């Protein structure tokens, strides 16, 4: 009885402070509408689920859905906006600092396995045909996701000024799309590395199917185990350094400096914090990602990326924010996931599908709101004085 009174009090407070097109249906049949025209419904299956309304956060509300104590009906993106409004209403929550994480080779391998080795079939349901699992590059709002991903691959290759015969390294290569594209379209000798066994297996198959075995390969390898010095003319890292850890960024960039030739180009494409103190996304969103999706993930602010690259003898030439592009990419992924939700559960589990349903739609919202961002940083290895190998303007990056 006491708990029911507390929940009733929490609902009254929410109704007085929240105005969003969301409806909440309680386990006893009562309905709470936060707007006259609700476009989404959160249905709480029991009194325990309603506890999330007493001290609401994005983590608490997500956990109720993941555990099957709540259901979402209607517009998922609107439900997430409503969950944000509810989370903000009771008490403002500040973002917490990333706790320094230990990133041993085994830790990172386990984290990659958790995120990427759900199954190749799972990812193929909602990614583009090349299975590019990173921010696309849209030239117009009408571009399809598949077209925008090819445009992204080209955008990276042009920025790096790839030329036939050059040695190219892709750190964290995913299912091999960039390495294959660079070898086939730009004539480079491409090497990709990944810690995911599923990615390594499928990438190797795709390289063989493309007839590129002689000048394209994917290795199952930790970036810290890259051997040799000045082995590569150009290096890219796409969606990788989020896994490295803030404390390990200097070591990560030092490895790139070691394997890249003098004046060679390095493009780092990664998600960045919007907070200069490198704080997590607030209201429990960062904790949700840490617990359920990306264990040990840490996001640096852009200023830290540039600082740590510069400290490792990289001269930064160009910085480009792709935040609107990632909001659009994630929106496309989320819509594709919604359309194949039953198949996604069959390719993983009901619980995993619930997690990823929230994750994709929630990340689209996060990038739209500017909670996080994403940047491409182009730099060259400059350990000795002298001119760069770049033209005077950036015109080479954009096709006429």
Q: Is the pLDDT of residue 109 over 70?
A: no
Torsion of Cα atoms, 331 then 58 then 374 then 171, to 10° = -90
Q: With residue 252 as reference, give the H or E element that holds it.
A: helix 249-259
The hierarchical CATH code for the domain 105-397 is 3.40.50.150
Rounded Cα distance, 21 and 34, in Å? 6
Q: Give me the pLDDT at residue 51, please.
A: 87
Q: Give me the pLDDT at residue 5, please.
A: 83
Asked if 47 and 7 count as a contact pair (C-beta separation under 8 A), the reply is yes
Q: Is the pLDDT of residue 102 over 70?
A: no
Q: Is the pLDDT of residue 98 over 90?
A: no
388: number of Cβ within 10 Å: 11
Q: Give me the pLDDT at residue 105, please.
A: 74
What is the percent of the chain with per-residue pLDDT over 90, rounded to a whole number?
A: 80
pLDDT tier at 35, thresholds 50, 70, 90: very high
Q: Is the pLDDT of residue 92 over 60?
A: no
Which runs of E-coded beta strand occur in the chain?
Answer: 22-25, 31-33, 40-44, 70-74, 167-171, 189-194, 216-220, 232-238, 260-273, 314-321, 372-381
Q: Give me the pLDDT at residue 116, please.
A: 62
Q: Give me the pLDDT at residue 180, please.
A: 98
236 Cβ contact partners less than 8 Å away, ≥ 6 residues apart = 156, 160, 168, 169, 170, 171, 178, 266, 267, 268, 269
Q: Give me the pLDDT at residue 100, please.
A: 64
Q: Is the pLDDT of residue 97 over 70?
A: no
Q: Give me the pLDDT at residue 252, please.
A: 98
Residues 279-284: what's their mean pLDDT?
Answer: 80
What is the percent of the chain with per-residue pLDDT over 70, rounded to a whole number?
A: 93
Rounded Cα distance, 309 and 69, in Å? 46
Q: Is the pLDDT of residue 106 over 80?
A: no
Residues 318-324: what's their mean pLDDT?
Answer: 98
Residues 71-94: what's their mean pLDDT?
Answer: 87
Domain ranges of the chain: 2-90, 105-397
Give me the residue label for tokens 């990133």: 103
Q: Is the pLDDT of residue 271 over 70?
A: yes
Q: Which of 83-92, 135-144, 186-195 has the lowest mean pLDDT?
A: 83-92
Rounded Cα distance, 382 and 210, in Å? 36
Rounded Cα distance, 250 and 309, in Å? 7
Q: Give me the pLDDT at residue 326, please.
A: 98
Q: Give me the pLDDT at residue 340, please.
A: 98
Average pLDDT, the chain: 92
Instruction: Say if domain 2-90 classifies as CATH 3.30.1050.10.
Output: yes
Catalytic residues: 363
392 to 104, 171, 278, 317, 395: CA distances (angstroms)? 42, 28, 34, 11, 9
Q: Give me the pLDDT at residue 108, please.
A: 65
pLDDT tier at 61, thresholds 50, 70, 90: very high
Q: Give me the pLDDT at residue 117, please.
A: 65
Residues 106-119: what's their mean pLDDT?
Answer: 66
What are 216-245's pLDDT values in tens digits? 999 999 999 999 999 999 999 999 999 999
pLDDT tier at 385, thresholds 50, 70, 90: very high
């Amino acid at each position: 009885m006491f708990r029911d009174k507390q929940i009733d009090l929490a609902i009254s407070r929410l109704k007085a402070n929240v105005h969003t097109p969301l409806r909440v249906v309680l386990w006893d049949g009562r309905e709470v509408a936060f707007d006259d025209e609700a476009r989404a419904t959160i249905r709480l299956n029991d009194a325990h689920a309603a506890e999330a309304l007493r001290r609401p956060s994005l983590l608490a509300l997500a956990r109720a859905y993941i555990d099957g104590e709540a259901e979402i009906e209607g517009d998922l993106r609107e439900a997430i906006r409503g969950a944000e409004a509810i989370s903000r209403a009771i008490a403002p929550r500040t973002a917490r600092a990333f706790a320094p994480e230990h990133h041993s080779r085994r830790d990172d391998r386990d984290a990659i396995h958790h995120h990427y080795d759900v199954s190749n079939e799972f990812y193929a349901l909602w990614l583009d045909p090349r299975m590019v699992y990173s921010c696309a590059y849209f030239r117009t709002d009408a571009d399809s996701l598949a077209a925008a991903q090819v445009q992204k691959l080209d955008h990276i290759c042009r920025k790096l000024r790839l030329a036939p015969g050059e040695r190219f390294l892709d750190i964290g290569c995913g299912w091999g799309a960039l390495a294959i594209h660079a070898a086939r379209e730009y004539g480079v000798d491409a090497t990709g590395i990944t810690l995911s066994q599923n990615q390594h297996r499928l990438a190797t198959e795709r390289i063989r199917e493309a007839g590129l075995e002689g000048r394209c390969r994917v290795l199952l390898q930790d970036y810290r185990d890259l051997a040799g010095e000045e082995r590569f003319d150009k290096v890219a890292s796409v969606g990788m350094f989020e896994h490295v850890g803030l404390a390990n960024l200097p070591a990560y960039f030092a490895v790139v400096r070691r394997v890249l030739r003098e004046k060679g180009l390095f493009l780092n494409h990664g998600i960045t914090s919007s907070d200069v103190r490198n704080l997590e996304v607030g209201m429990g969103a960062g904790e949700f990602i840490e617990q359920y999706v990306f264990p040990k993930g840490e996001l640096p602010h852009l200023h830290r990326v540039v600082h740590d690259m510069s400290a490792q003898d990289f001269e930064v030439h160009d910085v480009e924010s792709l935040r609107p592009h990632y909001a659009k990419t994630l929106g496309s992924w989320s819509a594709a996931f919604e359309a194949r939700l039953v198949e996604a559960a069959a390719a993983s589990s009901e619980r995993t599908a619930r997690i990823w349903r929230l994750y994709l739609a929630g990340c689209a919202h996060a990038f739209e709101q500017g909670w996080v961002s994403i940047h491409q940083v182009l730099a060259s290895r400059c350990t000795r004085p002298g001119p760069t190998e770049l033209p005077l303007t950036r015109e080479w990056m954009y096709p006429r």
